[in-house]
Amino acid sequence: MNTLSWGLLATGRIAGIFAKHLSQSQTSRIVAVGSRSQQEADRFGAEFGISRRHGSYEALLADPDVQAVYISTPHPMHAEWCVKAAAAKKHILCEKPLTLNHAEAVTVIEAARKHGVFLMEAFAYRCHPQTAKIVELIRERVIGEVHIIHASFGFQADYDPKSRLFSNQLGGGSILDVGCYPASMSRLIAGAAMGKPFADPTEINGCAHFAPTGVDSRAIACLTFPGGILAELSSSIEAQLENRVRIFGSEGNILISTPWTPGRDGTPTRIFLERNGQSVEEIAVESSLPRFAGEADYVAAHIAERQAPAMNWEDTLGNMKTLDRWRESIGLVYDSEKHK
């Protein structure tokens, strides 16, 4: 089996988790790290045993031993470095959301297409067997027709106007940071119910509470899909939510208790199925790898296709448009977008 050589573009918390998980990957190894300073690259490299340490992102992209890059900068920087990575002929796994908005996502995808490189938005849960099992259950109509989807993702963070989470300049707010997960899951489930890979909502109505920096600290959206499927999404960076997905159908319901980080350490996950009038059935889903190792292996398996079935370019564009419409419904436009 061929090994994919990775470079890490940025050295934040999520890059550290990615580096830790990749030690268990069957197809991938980290060969280099790039940061905005040599000191930070050296610190990260020493912590995770990475010998090639670059003091700039440009130097990382110029490294001939790097075949693919994992980009985990703040959201507003994703588009710039995805385009530059594509021009450098590096395959790309970019953290969610792919970009700040739909227009930037189009630019990134066109760059990947032009330079013939792989590109995937890093929704690791989409690559996990649990998500494939959910889609299978919906397509088999084990709960009949899907009527309502409830999906939430939220956590509590102390307010800090300079932090990435609350900064307007850094694309902060709950919708882009974690609301993108319920949006993508609802689109996946609605699509599965219609026999399609995904579906886009016909209507979005949202409401939100705003932090003093002008970003949403908590938000809710109601999505209407073709066929009358409704989805209620909630996101927060100032309150711990249930972080669950429940799907209600004409003949029962499905509960996913760990939808966003399934098999965090390679442990089995469980889906709870309740058919009308019957006791709850537990469906175990096995996975031997932590989620980012599985995601990296998934990327390696689909490099030649340039897109991944679990999160292809059309799906990403649909999700970005959904997030744009959610933000539009609450009147959230980032300062950087106002200047364009």
* 233-248 pLDDT, tens digit each: 999 999 999 999 999 9
* 150-168 pLDDT, tens digit each: 999 999 999 999 999 999 9
On the question of pLDDT at 266 being above 90, the answer is no
pLDDT of residue 340: 61
pLDDT of residue 2: 64
pLDDT of residue 263: 76
Is the Cβ–Cβ distance between 119 and 83 less than 8 Å?
no
pLDDT of residue 289: 85
- Domains parsed from the chain with CATH numbers: 4-123 (3.40.50.720), 125-338 (3.30.360.10)
On the question of pLDDT at 121 being above 60, the answer is yes
pLDDT of residue 285: 94
pLDDT of residue 38: 98
pLDDT of residue 230: 98
Residue 97, preceding peptide bond in cis (omega within 30° of 0): yes
The mean of the pLDDT values for the chain is: 96
State the amino acid at position 317 in one-letter form. Answer: L
On the question of pLDDT at 105 being above 70, the answer is yes
On the question of pLDDT at 96 being above 60, the answer is yes
On the question of pLDDT at 201 being above 70, the answer is yes
CA 105 vs CA 81, 171, 176, 299: distances in Å: 12, 15, 14, 19
